[in-house]
Amino acid sequence: MFGHKPTALERISDALSDIGDRIVDLEERVVERVNPTPSAPERARRAIARHLPGHSSGISRYVPDFFSGWHLPTSDDARSTYRSARNQVSSWGSSLYGLRNDLPDVRSRLSDIDLPDARLPRWSSFSRGFATRSRLEYFRDRPGLTTLAVLGGTVAVAGAAYFVAKKVSEHTEEPDYDVVRQDGDIEIRDYDAMVVAETVKSGYHEKARRVGFETLADYIFANNRSGKKIPMTAPVLQQLSEAEGQTRGWAVRFVMPKRFTKGALPQPASGDVKLKDVPAKRVVAIRFSGNFTASLASKKLMLLYNYIADENLKQKGDPEYAFYNPPWTPGLFKRNEILIEIDR
């Protein structure tokens, strides 16, 4: 309704806005010459810049914060700001003109540079991820197949452990004996004389065997003494024993290789390990597999006692337990024995 005569400040603002728009247009042209096919994120950014209200564009990205949030400056302030902005625009224009002249050289240099690929991962990476996920979902939806796969893996691991244990046992020396009589799992055996390294440990059965094993292993592997190592043999023997000057405990024994006599063996570093001559003897033995437990040992021991009673044999001493395999051998493939010495 009423004619409006723009003030000098408004004309300056309009002029600066027009200059800013031209600079933005010139920027986009330069970018298009350097990168004619911008990426999807860049195209989205430009679309937002063109259509989103309030997005920072035009001269507002270049002029000082003085021009945002007008607060009616004085004419002197407006003139000084206009001169500063004009000088900045002139310098930007010259810089852009120089950049335009340098574009061919820049492009040639960029073509020689092996820049990293900043794009999103290729589809092959996503396809592998989706393939893996689909396989997991396939097994998850088929519990029977999953169980079969787990059982197959378990059998494979057990088979590998058995193979390694078998190879170890094939190269491990064992005491010689003659089978006098065999009745099922029970045998009457005659053993030759042997030398053993013995240590006595207190505590329950399994703990005493473990601690005693470590003590004897230090001896044969020369960890606490001078001299050469002694080859490991089988089985590891364990028997209730009354040590001199000690409370009743478990005697843990390593059988020494046949080529050694007691005098030829290196002396232990401490009194915790003793070398002993074991004379030839006759025993009743029962063999069984599985992880050694007190309940399993009680059942097998009862069979031996019944056999000794039925055959009118005379027992000598406490039962002796024999363990032939490394601890990591699957229980199904472990060889355990209980031996009771008897009169000939």
The parent domain of residue 182 ranges over 170-342
Question: pLDDT tens for residues 13-47?
Answer: 666 666 666 666 666 665 565 555 666 666 666 66
Residue 209 resides in a domain: yes
Q: If you search the block for the tokens 């401490």, which residue do you land on?
A: 270
At 243, the pLDDT band (50, 70, 90 cuts) reads: low
In this structure, the answer to whether residues 325 and 201 fall within a common structural domain is: yes
Domain end (from 94, 126, 156): 94
Q: Which two tokens stand for residue 225?
A: 């003494």
The total number of structural domains that make up the chain: 2
- How many Å separate Cα 50 from the centre of its chain? 52
Q: What does residue 200 show for φ and ψ, rounded to 5 degrees?
A: -110, 130
Q: If you search the block for the tokens 């056999």, which residue do you land on?
A: 307
In this structure, the answer to whether residues 185 and 316 fall within a common structural domain is: yes
In this structure, the answer to whether residues 86 and 182 fall within a common structural domain is: no
In this structure, the answer to whether residues 90 and 174 fall within a common structural domain is: no
At 56, the pLDDT band (50, 70, 90 cuts) reads: very low
Residue 253 resides in a domain: yes
Residue 187 resides in a domain: yes
In this structure, the answer to whether residues 176 and 318 fall within a common structural domain is: yes
Domain end (from 94, 124, 154): 94
Residue 328 resides in a domain: yes
In this structure, the answer to whether residues 180 and 298 fall within a common structural domain is: yes
In this structure, the answer to whether residues 76 and 215 fall within a common structural domain is: no
Question: pLDDT tens for residues 313-337?
Answer: 999 999 999 999 988 788 888 999 9
Residue 132 resides in a domain: no
Residue 299 resides in a domain: yes
> Residue 168 and residue 229: Cα distance in Å, rounded?
18
Residue 122 resides in a domain: no
Domain end (from 38, 63, 94): 94
Residue 147 resides in a domain: no
In this structure, the answer to whether residues 336 and 202 fall within a common structural domain is: yes
In this structure, the answer to whether residues 66 and 199 fall within a common structural domain is: no
CATH of the domain at 260: 3.20.80.10
In this structure, the answer to whether residues 199 and 87 fall within a common structural domain is: no
Q: If you search the block for the tokens 């001896």, which residue do you land on?
A: 219
In this structure, the answer to whether residues 84 and 178 fall within a common structural domain is: no
> Residue 187 and residue 7: Cα distance in Å, rounded?
121
Q: Is 58 left (phi over 0), alpha (psi -120 to 50) or beta?
A: left
Mean pLDDT across the chain: 74
> Residue 89 and residue 21: Cα distance in Å, rounded?
12
pTM: 0.55
In this structure, the answer to whether residues 68 and 177 fall within a common structural domain is: no
> Residue 333 and residue 335: Cα distance in Å, rounded?
7
Q: Is 178 left (phi over 0), alpha (psi -120 to 50) or beta?
A: beta
Strongest mean pLDDT among 15-24, 92-101, 131-140, 215-224: 215-224
